[in-house]
Amino acid sequence: MSNFTTISKEEFEEFLAKNYYGKWSTFTGGIQCQEYVYAIRSYVEGIRVLVYSSVDKRTDESRPAGSDDIRFILWDYLEDRPISKTIRVDRVGDVWSRITSRINFLSKKASVVDVVDYEYVKYILVHTVNTGSDFATSLLEQLLKRRNLSKNQLNCVIGRGPGRNTMEQRLLQKEPDFLMVYFQADDVELEKEIRKEEEIVERRQKITHNPLLIEDAQDEETLQIYSTEGYPYSYPAFNRLQCRIFPYIERDCNVVISANTSSGKTICAELLMFNVLGNGRKVIYLSPLKALTQEKYEDWSKLFPQYKIVIMTGDYKMTPALSKKVSEADIILMTSEMLDSRTRMIEAEKNFWFYEVGLLIVDEVHILGQTGERGHPMEVGIMRFTKINPTCRVSFLSATMANVSELGLWLSVLNGKETVVIKSSWRPVELNKYFVPYDEVRYGGGFMNYKATQNKKVNTAIKLINAKPNQKFLVFCHDKNAGRLLLKAFSEKSKEEIRFHNADLKLEERHDIESRFKNGTLRVLVSTPTLAWGSVNEDSEITLVSGRKKRAGDLKYGDAIISFNEITEELEQDIILAALPYDPEYDTEIELEDGSSIRVDKKHPFYIRTSTGIVQKEAQNLLVDDDIVHELDFLS
């Protein structure tokens, strides 16, 4: 049992003077004790952290154990009223660090707490209702229903000063101790929040080691190979990467896996999932893309048929029905933006299922390093989640993480757990890179013949495909014109099936092509980069007011851009308020007469010049020869 700490008035004031700027007053607490109140400045002007401490008048030291606690409360100096209930520190154990944590916590809390404490308003209304006031009854009913009151209604309830006759004023005149009774009541929820933060700090302070780094060469000779017996996999044994996860499946630690594409990282995560789900905890799978989330839903519905799986992406509003479905789910698949949003709204939406999560899997975690709108929601979402649920294990997966040890240490700091970093360069199939050169076809004047050069590249690709008839080929093209050219040329020279994966296909058609290519029924697949991350592609150029152009992906809050006013038909200045991540079902590529192309969402608006003036058209409704308005048309 911890020892009781005796604190003198001089020691306490010396501690406050050294660490905080404030002032204090004396309150008489009784015949044998004297109470002092100290007002510490918070991060918000006009709000103070009041610290109450009493001493024995005879010794000028704190009273015996059980007789006194140090109390803390947020106080609105402008309105002279509390905006929180009381939290306490008993004088046992490391009392100084707990005093510091509570003062610091309340100081930060002042910046987010409502200046109007509606619990206090409700307290006043309940006491006024007891006096038989019908008006107080109606206000109380509204407060309980809507959780707030209008400014005029609040003015009738709270506020003090000359000439004011509020319900609060009348109660204080009738019961002078009314206010003291309220704010001396303990704030249990706030106390829980502080203790959770203190636990995280304690765990962080214990982290004196770097993450445990496991690389290929370290355990090459001693690596144990594990059988898949008992797991729903069709092959006899796990591969080298997957075997490295076994010592940590049941260990309460974070796991960071950096390994090549197709090396089996997902199965490593699945092995962790089997353990966590078997212990009755939930699993969250986090991905930056809806397409990846959908893929995992289809795969895991077969792998985990006994568990309930639900998807949460931007397509789904958090309705009561979905909230109930999520709270009952065992595996929750969500995008980074959704984790950011749902953790932010945990209290309002009652997303208390976050506390039941035992494993958070973050796929494609290298997105953290991107400065655009994908990296930020992922980083903030992970940080907020680990604060909400620090007992949850976290697993990072990526093929392109450069600073894995730093990420591992960051994870340990977030939730206080040991982090194991598994770094592997092993590949199940050796990857060889070859470059096939080609000569550009040129006119007599030395200029490149673009069409002839394209045909030459296409024929070179077809020769490579036909040279290895027993191997699968995935051919990437920079645009749809090149893809169509390859498709046509191949079909003219071979009866073998070839498919073109591009933005013109519906989502179901894409899934069908991808599935056939995976299972081997389709050998040759041509594709463009058909998954855009925004309603405007990140590489699209946006014209700023200064005349300079900027990538859409680099736009930030406050940027002044040129936009078109549909009413005046003139260009005008607009300010970027937010660049919201958007993952369309499929995108549309617009090919322009100058040979360039832009990729946008199918509903992206364009302005078209017609004989009757400028009209707006969605990208999906554009026709060949439509005259798209260019900003130079306005600036000339």
The CATH number given to whatever domain includes residue 390 is 3.40.50.300
Give dist(CA 636, CA 614) in Å, integer. 17
> Can you tell me the distance from the alpha carbon of 601 to that of 582, in angstroms, rounded to the nearest whole number?
9
Q: How confident is the model at residue 300 (pLDDT cuts 50, 70, 90)?
A: very high
Residue percentage of the chain with pLDDT more than 90: 17
Q: Which residue, 39, 80, 34, is CA-closest to 53?
A: 34
Q: Is residue 250 part of a domain?
A: yes
Instruction: Say which residue, 222 or 378, is predicted with more confidence.
Output: 378
Q: Are 231 and 347 contained in the same domain?
A: yes
Gap between the Cα atoms of 636 and 220, Å rounded = 68
Domain identity same for 47 and 100? yes
Q: How many CB atoms lie within 10 A of CB 444?
A: 5
Lowest mean pLDDT among 101-110, 188-197, 381-390, 426-435: 188-197
Residue 430 lies in a domain: no
- Domain end, chosen from 206, 240, 272, is at 206
Domain-ending residue, one of 206, 227, 261: 206
Residue 433 placed within a domain = no
- Work out whether strand 70-76 and strand 570-575 pair parallel, antiparallel, or are unpaired: unpaired
Counting the structural domains of the chain, the total is 4
Q: What's the confidence (pLDDT) of residue 43?
A: 75
**Which of 140, 174, 206 marks a domain boundary?**
206
Please indicate, yes or no, whether residues 250 and 378 belong to a single structural domain of this protein.
yes
We report the CATH number of the domain holding residue 596 as 2.170.16.10
pLDDT top residue among 377 and 25: 377
Tens digits of per-residue pLDDT, 26-70?
555 555 667 778 888 887 778 888 888 877 767 767 765 545 678
Specify whether 502 is located in the same domain as 402: no
Q: What are phi and psi of 330, to 5 degrees?
A: -95, -35
604, 589 contact by CB (below 8 A): no
Is the residue at 444 inside a domain? no
Backbone angles phi, psi at 224, to 5 degrees: -90, 135
Q: Average pLDDT of 379-394?
A: 91
Residue found by looking up tokens 């027993």 in the block? 470
pLDDT for the residue numbered 346: 83
Which ranges of 442-600 does DSSP label H, i.e. alpha helix?
Answer: 450-467, 480-493, 507-519
C-alpha–C-alpha distance, residues 246 and 420, integer Å: 12
pLDDT of 565 over the 60 cut? no
In a domain, 457, yes or no: yes
Predicted local confidence at residue 632, as pLDDT: 45
Identify which of 363, 397, 361 has the alpha carbon closest to the alpha carbon of residue 282. 361
Ranges assigned E (strand) in 288-352: 309-312, 331-335
Task: Reply yes or no on whether the pLDDT at 308 is more than 50.
Answer: yes
Q: Which of 294-298, 321-325, 451-455, 477-481 has the lowest mean pLDDT?
A: 477-481
Tokens of 411: 């994870």
Per-residue pLDDT for 319 more than 50?
A: yes
**Residue 469 pLDDT exceeds 80:** yes
Q: What mean pLDDT do residues 301-307 have?
A: 94
Query: Is the pLDDT at 421 greater than 80, yes or no?
Result: yes
pLDDT at 139 over 70: yes
- The pLDDT of residue 190: 62
Domain membership of residue 11 as a residue range: 1-206
Query: Does residue 219 surpass a pLDDT of 90?
Result: no
245 pLDDT exceeds 90?
yes
pLDDT at 226: 93
Is the sign of the CA dihedral 410, 414, 420, 421 positive or negative? negative
Same domain, yes or no, for 45 and 171?
Answer: yes
Could you tell me if 333 and 473 lie in one domain? no
Please state which of the ranges 97-101, 318-322, 413-417 shows the lowest mean pLDDT. 318-322
Co-location of 140 and 226 in the same domain: no
**What is the token pair recorded at 513?**
């092509």
DSSP secondary structure of 413-446: HHH---EEEEE----SS---------PPPB-TTS
Instruction: Report pLDDT for 566.
Output: 41
342, 375: one domain: yes
The DSSP secondary structure of 1-30, one letter per residue, reads -PPBPP-BHHHHHHHHHHH--EEEEEEE--
233, burial (CB in 10 Å: exposed 0-12, middle 13-18, buried 19+): middle
Residue 438 within a domain: no
Per-residue pLDDT, 39: 84
Cβ proximity of 503 and 588 under 8 Å = yes
Same domain, 409 and 470: no
Lowest-confidence region among 86-90, 386-390, 466-470, 569-573 = 569-573
Q: The tokens of 465 are what? A: 């495909």
In this predicted structure, the answer to whether residue 388 has a pLDDT above a threshold of 70 is: yes
What is the overall mean pLDDT for the chain?
Answer: 77
Indicate whether 294 and 385 sit together in one domain: yes
346 burial level (CB within 10 Å; 0-12, 13-18, 19+)? middle
Dist CA 411 CA 369 (whole Å): 15
Q: Are residues 184 and 217 in the same domain?
A: no
Q: Which residue has the higher pLDDT, 364 or 77?
A: 364
Same structural domain for residues 510 and 614? Answer: no
247 vs 28: CA distance, rounded Å: 62
Tell me, yes or no, whether 236 lies in a domain: yes
pLDDT at 364 over 60: yes
The yes-or-no verdict on residue 583 having pLDDT over 50 is no
- Least confident range from 131-135, 139-143, 369-373, 589-593: namely 369-373
Residue 396 lies in a domain: yes
> What confidence category does residue 597 fall into, taking pLDDT thresholds of 50, 70 and 90?
low
